[in-house]
Amino acid sequence: MRAGADAPDSGRVKESAPWSYDEAFCRNLGLISPTEQQRLRNSRVAIAGMGGVGGIDMVALARMGIGKFTIADPDVFEIRNSNRQYGAMRSTNGQAKAEVMRNIVHDINPEAEIRAFCEPIGKENAATFLEGADVLVDGIDAFEIDLRRLLYREAQQRGIYALGAGPLGFSTAWVVFDPKGMTFDRYFDLSDAMNTVDKFVAFIAGIAPSATHRRSIDLSYVDIENRTGPSVGLACHLASGVVAAEVLKILLGHGRVYAAPYFHQFDAYRSIYVRKRLRCGNRHPLQRVKRRLLARYINRRSAGVIPGLRYHRTEPSY
């Protein structure tokens, strides 16, 4: 040991320095400026859903230094969430997702201002949920189309961007909605008159028109009755990475945001990135064909013609 060197620690816990926002996020500098870092500190992001992607979205944004969050999820963590959901651990089994994620982010940034909704979001509280938000991030379950429509409509009325990226196979697909651009309902071609299956089909077909993931998924593992299907943490982390990047562009004015009718899909497993403009959204003739085929497939399985895929209406879950 050289002269003057400290002796080995012998297992002593080093006393930590007082927490400092500037020190905690100093490694962001050089990629963003000090002024931009303060802008992130003062920004509020609303995230609906703290499950597969929503929780990881929150952590990714918290580590970028976002200082304010409004989050919502009425669900609790279960063992089956462990392969992909950030807050799902043995110690959190049975605990409210929104509360767990609030605690995790407070452990990253104790100064973060977090409003947590542990009750379902609906018409009566959607406006309250989005109050003061600078951007809406969608981490909602794929089957909850009407809730999405409600929140995206509210976001547009408030003049804020809304976006969400979903895990599909080993890929992520996403669409960004500019409050001055094409609406959520117009892009996905949704209306109140549609039944639940047709709304779900429209969403799945519209979020990833190129469907780079189609070879990766064994549809025999899709159970619409229980609202489950193949989903891995790898794809959830990809989704949160692109969400964080899009949110940074929106909040800081960096680069171009390719909003709807543009769609994006990044398939890490197949080394494919797709960005295309779907001029008519889901009303495009080819999209109409895809939707008819997918709806027919689901309905035939529901009727038992093709075994393994069933559908019925269940209670909301993020």
Q: What one-character-per-residue DSSP string does 180-208 give?
A: TS--HHHHHT--TTS-HHHHHHHHHHHH-
Largest CA distance in the chain: 81
- Convert the pLDDT of each residue in 103-151 to its tens digit: 999 999 999 999 999 999 999 999 999 999 999 999 999 889 999 999 9
Asked if the model's pLDDT at residue 190 lies above 80, the reply is yes
Q: What percent of the chain is predicted at pLDDT more than 90?
A: 80
**Alpha-carbon gap, residue 14 to 29, rounded angstroms:** 27
pLDDT of residue 95: 98
pLDDT of residue 305: 47
**Alpha-carbon gap, residue 112 to 122, rounded angstroms:** 25
Report residue 189 as tokens.
Answer: 């071609």
Beta strand 171-177 pairing with 161-168: antiparallel
Q: What percent of the chain is predicted at pLDDT more than 70?
A: 89
Q: 271: Cβ–Cβ under 8 A, 6 or more apart, which residues?
A: none
Backbone angles phi, psi at 29, to 5 degrees: -70, 140
9-23, 51-65, 151-165, 242-256: which has the minimum mean pLDDT?
Answer: 9-23
Closest Cα to residue 261, out of 150, 151, 181, 204? 181
Give the other-Cβ count within 10 Å of 182's Cβ: 19
Asked if the model's pLDDT at residue 189 lies above 50, the reply is yes
Asked if the model's pLDDT at residue 219 lies above 80, the reply is no
Asked if the model's pLDDT at residue 88 lies above 50, the reply is yes
Higher pLDDT, 316 or 19: 19
31-181+231-279 CATH fold: Rossmann fold (3.40.50)
Assess contact for 317 and 75: CB atoms under 8 A.
yes
Closest Cα to residue 39, out of 48, 28, 49, 47? 28
Assess contact for 52 and 231: CB atoms under 8 A.
yes
DSSP letter for 135, please. E
